[in-house]
Amino acid sequence: MKNFIFLLAFSIVLAACSKVPITNRKQTNLLPESTLIQMAKDQYTAFLAEATVLPDSDPRAQRVKRVGEKIKEATESFLTSKGYAKRIEGFEWEFKTVVDDETINAWCMPGGKVCVYTGILPLFDSDDELAVVMGHEIAHAIARHGNERMSQQMIVNGVGSVLSPADTTQVSIFQQVFIGSATLGMLKYSRNHESEADKLGLVFAKVAGYDPNAAITFWKKMAAQGGAGMPEIFSTHPSDERRIADLEEFLKEIDQYIE
């Protein structure tokens, strides 16, 4: 019986393997993406019910939406042309600006629900800088890092959780993987995920017409302001020096991923 369960679980893992666009890294996603998108949508709806969001007439909200829509359109076209249309299947994009001047944060949930906080907006000296950060957050959703993290947690919890169809099990794991409601959307991503999102995010920003080199100026600016007060959004990211070096190296070859 144990051998049967092991073989069944192994078969599920094998069938769930896929590759991340651009990096071609193999990943294992056990949860149907449609299920994760619905769970994220429910959490997002609950979040909006309590949060204060800027009206569409506010210039800051218009800026976020304008940049977000450009990235969305270009990214969808790019992924479709590269044979990755399934990566955006079921996405219902929204771009909201959350009123919270004390929180330096931005995130994109599975399914394309994007929120940028007013606290981070003053850090962007240009739309290019805003675009590389939004591109980074959108990249987490496109790369299905949330599904991957949940799948890892499901494996840790045992085969039973992998095979269980119960929604309560899936929701419980969703809550384990996501940090509480105060920072909804902020997954406990690994540094490998962060580095991968950096690369995808630069491509998404570039195909949308933004200058990906803005990532270098932005992170150098962040490094100069670093220290103990580093915002939580950057807490699991690679060190400033390592990140900037990796970004500079990737920018040398970025065109080969777009052609």
Among residues 76, 129, 137, 196, which one is catalytic? 137
Largest CA distance in the chain: 62
Q: Which tokens sit at 232?
A: 């939580």
φ, ψ of residue 84 in degrees (nearest 5): -115, 30
Question: Is residue 129 annotated as a catalytic residue, yes or no?
Answer: no
| Alpha carbon of residue 225 to chain centroid | 24
Q: Produce one character per residue of 205-221: b if its CB has 16 or more CB atoms within 10 Å, e if not.
A: bbbbebbbbbbbebbee
The residues assigned a catalytic role are 137
